[in-house]
Structure 1
Amino acid sequence: MFSNNDINFEALKRKAYNGRWATLEDGVIPLTAADPDFRIAREIEHGIIEYIKDGYLSYGPFSGLPEFKKSVADHFNKEKSGNFSPENVLAVNSAAQGMFLIASYVLNPGDEAIILDPVDFLFKKSVETAGGKVNLCPVDTHTGEIDFETLNSLIHSKTKLISICNPHNPLGKVYSPDVLRKVAQIASAHDLWVMSDEIWSDIIYDNRNFHTYSSVSEEARKKSFTVYGFSKSFGIAGLRIGAVLCNDVDILTDFTEKSNFNSTIEGVSTLSQMAGSIALEKAKPWYKEFLKHLQGNRDFAFNILSHSGIVTPNLPEATFVLFPEIKNGLSSEEFAYHVLQHGKVAIVPGSERWFGKGAEGHIRICFSTSQKILEEGLNRMISSFND
């Protein structure tokens, strides 16, 4: 399971977009967008087929199917120390859309939001699309620790939102309840909203515990949104399915109304919701094997890169991406271009465009593929500087 024999390369070359197999010339190995190379769990596939057998694909409830909302709430309560009911869950078209909707709900034009630096580009994009201004709070690229002194100094009258990424993309840091409580104390003291992007919260290694943000204190619970998605842990990015969770039902009701989910303007495919529900209810055995494979790949890649001489790798606590530091003096863009041209491997440069100013001098490598493909890609990357 999860070997080269389990990858349908012809299908990937037809269907895997977003800078991956379908968008690159033959012979290039994509270790880029964080998307698995493996087919979805059979349980999800069969569940989708069963759902459409009666021939009906009708409208569902505007806020989401009851079974979907219950599955998400149960998953958070059992696996992430959550305290959610189905009424605390809104189905959305991907975690990314959830981030945009939250920024639009919380921010008026000219309001300011604090995001981490480095972090995935969607945080910045969401704030700016809502007409807000971004303020960057540095994160130590070696430890993942948040600079709380700077965080405090960034807060003033126009600040309305703190956005965190937990587990952190691209550093792979899992934030402890103590760290999250500190964020909550600061936010509460200044009456700020907090958005916690937890799309990576299923991909955690070494049996670490994960605590969803709103679970760590009453302060965290009161004025926060949580974002979740299925693209990382279950490989169904193309179905565009995610969730926004909020412990305050009145706030979530208002959010649902103002985000146009109480009409047919917005809303989520019922088929996608069923796939998400089936994933959480029936595909956990597949997911656990996938997680075991990913941890093996993480350790394998870390070992190879530690002896490469060209980068210094990190050992992520979560996610299926590495964020090595470049050692040979090239910029992130130069390094990625060299590897693509001379090694036929696509990686993501740690440039401001993708992760913010604090990412420069790094690259991001996705390892959610077979160990054979990963080994070939890493060896090509290293060899491209030695030939």
Structure 2
Amino acid sequence: MFSNNDINFEALKRKAYNGRWATLEEGIIPLTAADPDFRTAPEIEQGIIEYIKDGYLSYGPFSGLPEFKKSVADHFNKEKHGTFSPENVLAVNSAAQGMYLIATYVLNPGDEAIILDPVDFLFKRSVETAGGKVRLCPVDIETGDIDFEKLVSLITPKTKLISICNPHNPLGKIYSKETLKKISEIASAHDTWVMSDEIWSDIIYDQKEFYTYSSVSEEAKKKSFTVYGFSKSFGIAGLRIGSVLCNDPDILEDFIEKSNFNSTIEGVSTLSQIAGSVALEKAKPWYKEFLAHLQHNRDLAFNIINCSEVLSATLPEATFVLFPKIKNGMSSEEFTKHVLQQGKVAIVPGSERWFGKGAEGHVRICFSTSQEILEEGLHRITSSF
């Protein structure tokens, strides 16, 4: 189901933007944006068709369709130790929008937010767009471990938010229940909010256990938001569908009010919500096969990279990206330019722009494609020097 024969390259060249097939010259392999090369599950396609058969595309409830909210809550409760009811879920236009709305809700101009370093650029962008000031907390680039001493030292009276990425993009680290509990204790002691971006929480390998942040303690429940999305596990990034979860219904109600989700100013396409709901209710068999394929690709890519002279990688516990270290002394930008020009492969540099100061000297390689494309891409990278 996930071989080269299952990829419609003509469709990708028309539709796959964001640094992928539709944006690159013919002959270049994109191992860039974290977006699968495979068509979405047939159950999702069928669910969308069924929904529009009667010809009605009316307004939905402002905070989200009941079936969408229930499917997200059930998914978290069954798979991630959550304790959410449908009333704890807000449908939003992607996890990225959820991150921005949370930053806007929590921060006033000049307030400070602590984010991990390195981490996906959207964390920094969300805080700065909301008028906040970013403070960087380093994580160990090999293990993903958080420097808690540094985290505590960064907290000032202006600190209003601690943001975590779990599983971590681009390091592929899953934070344990104990680690999350420690974060909740620190946040509670200093009365700060916590945002946990859990968009990668379905792409977890070796049957490791995942705990949604708010499940680890009563403190974690009280003053936190969780962000979730469907673009990674179900390949529907173009539908722009995600959710914000909050265990306190009064806080979420205030959040909905202040984020303009109580009127037609904001709100999410009902079609996108149906796709999300069907994904969680009916497309799990497809997803499990996809996950097995990804784990195979992860192991393959890890072995190829670590047999090379130019890169060395650690094995990610989650996500479908690797973040190997450059061994030949090139900067991240130099390396990716060389690979693009000489190897005809596009990858993402570990530059400050994309992942923060702590990412330099690394590159991010996405492996959510066929084994054939992955092998060819990695061969081109490692033989281009």
C-alpha separation between the residues in 1 aligned to 2:140 and 2:27? 36
Aligned to 2:141: 141
1:60 and 2:35 matched: no
Deviation track 1:96-129 (CA, whole Å, cap 9, x = no partner) reads 0000000000000000000000000000000000
1:259 and 2:264 matched: no
1:308 and 2:308 matched: yes
SS in 2 for 1:146: coil
SS in 2 for 1:75: helix
C-alpha separation between the residues in 2 aligned to 1:330 and 1:97? 35
Aligned to 1:249: 249
1:156-167 matches, cutoff 5 A = 156-167=156-167
Deviation track 1:106-161 (CA, whole Å, cap 9, x = no partner) reads 00000000000000000000000000000000000000000000000000100000
C-alpha deviation, 1:314, in angstroms:
1.4
C-alpha separation between the residues in 1 aligned to 2:14 and 2:219? 47
Aligned length: 385
Aligned to 1:36: 36
Q: 5+ unaligned residues in a row in structure 2: which ranges? A: none
SS in 2 for 1:263: coil
Aligned to 1:75: 75
Q: TM-score, normalised by structure 2?
A: 1.00
C-alpha separation between the residues in 2 aligned to 1:257 and 1:158? 24
C-alpha deviation, 1:309, in angstroms:
1.0
Q: Match for 2:375: what amino acid?
A: E
C-alpha separation between the residues in 2 aligned to 1:149 and 1:37? 41
C-alpha separation between the residues in 2 aligned to 1:131 and 1:338? 37
SS in 2 for 1:375: helix
Deviation track 1:301-354 (CA, whole Å, cap 9, x = no partner) reads 000001101011110000000000000000000000000000000000000000
C-alpha separation between the residues in 1 aligned to 2:130 and 2:223? 19
C-alpha separation between the residues in 1 aligned to 2:207 and 2:382? 31
C-alpha separation between the residues in 2 aligned to 1:45 and 1:343? 36
Aligned to 2:363: 363
1:191 and 2:191 matched: yes
Aligned to 1:339: 339
1:192-341 matches, cutoff 5 A = 192-341=192-341
C-alpha separation between the residues in 2 aligned to 1:309 and 1:248? 52
1:173 and 2:173 matched: yes
Q: Match for 2:369: what amino acid?
A: T
C-alpha separation between the residues in 1 aligned to 2:145 and 2:127? 23
C-alpha deviation, 1:11, in angstroms:
0.1
Aligned to 1:373: 373
Aligned to 1:126: 126
C-alpha separation between the residues in 2 aligned to 1:305 and 1:237? 28
Aligned to 1:354: 354
C-alpha separation between the residues in 2 aligned to 1:66 and 1:37? 31
C-alpha separation between the residues in 2 aligned to 1:312 and 1:285? 34
C-alpha deviation, 1:37, in angstroms:
0.1
Deviation track 1:276-296 (CA, whole Å, cap 9, x = no partner) reads 000000000000000000000
SS in 1 for 2:368: coil
C-alpha separation between the residues in 2 aligned to 1:114 and 1:144? 16
Q: Match for 1:27: what amino acid?
A: G
C-alpha separation between the residues in 2 aligned to 1:19 and 1:370? 18
C-alpha separation between the residues in 1 aligned to 2:347 and 2:40? 24
Identical-residue share of aligned pairs (%) = 84
Q: 5+ unaligned residues in a row in structure 1: which ranges? A: none
Q: Match for 1:211: what amino acid?
A: Y
SS in 2 for 1:19: coil
C-alpha separation between the residues in 1 aligned to 2:323 and 2:51? 40
* Superposed CA RMSD: 0.2
C-alpha deviation, 1:384, in angstroms:
0.5
C-alpha separation between the residues in 2 aligned to 1:158 and 1:121? 22
**Consecutive aligned runs of 4 or more in structure 1 exceeding 6 Å deviation:** none
C-alpha separation between the residues in 2 aligned to 1:232 and 1:350? 20
C-alpha separation between the residues in 2 aligned to 1:22 and 1:247? 40
SS in 1 for 2:2: coil
C-alpha separation between the residues in 2 aligned to 1:196 and 1:118? 15
C-alpha separation between the residues in 1 aligned to 2:188 and 2:38? 42
